[in-house]
Amino acid sequence: MARSLSRSAARLAAVQALYQMEMEATPLAKLLHEFHQHRLGATIEDATYADAEQDFFDDVVSGTDARRNEIDGLITDRLAEGWSLNRLDRPMRAILRAGTYELIARPDVPAASVISEYIDVAHAFFDKRETGFVNGLLDAIAKSARS
């Protein structure tokens, strides 16, 4: 149970890091350092962040960054006609990118777990309609990536 909680915390932190990377163009090494020192397991404004599995966090953030063009292509291929990745807001892009990375690069994590976890992350930012979108898109990617 503790491992799944630390992985859930790592996923949420990874989405936040990817969002920050896109917003501020923070270099990867600086971003990872900042999260290691100040965010993962820290207390900020009276809120204690759960201890995140640091290696898992690093893999999701670094891997998503390294494979971003491939990941963006997989997401774009599954968007409705007339939609582009840039039409999605940044938190949604970060969620879909991190989830897609896990589906294509982490066969050790069951696809259903990946999808469920990123639906949970989406709940932190969005309403039911958007979480359904995350579910559908990641499920489509899982079907091709894990077949």
Q: What is the pLDDT of residues 113-147, one digit of tens each?
A: 999 999 999 998 898 889 999 999 999 999 999 87
Mean pLDDT of the chain: 89
Residue 139's pLDDT is 97
Q: How far apart are CA 20 and CA 129, in angstroms?
A: 24
**Residue 5 above 80 pLDDT?**
no
Contact at 8 Å (CB) between 40 and 57?
yes
Contact at 8 Å (CB) between 9 and 51?
yes
Tokens of 9: 């915390």
Contact at 8 Å (CB) between 10 and 52?
yes
Mean pLDDT on 23-33: 91
Residue 42's pLDDT is 59
Q: Which of 44-58, 64-78, 81-95 has the lowest mean pLDDT?
A: 44-58
Residue 1's pLDDT is 44
Query: If you ran DSSP here, which 8-state letter would residue 75 be given?
Result: H
Could you tell me the residue ranges of all domains in the chain?
A: 2-145
Beta-bridge mates of residue 63: none
Q: In CATH, which of 3.10.450.50, 1.10.940.10, 3.40.630.40, 1.10.760.10 is domain 2-145?
A: 1.10.940.10
Q: How far apart are CA 99 and CA 93, in angstroms?
A: 10
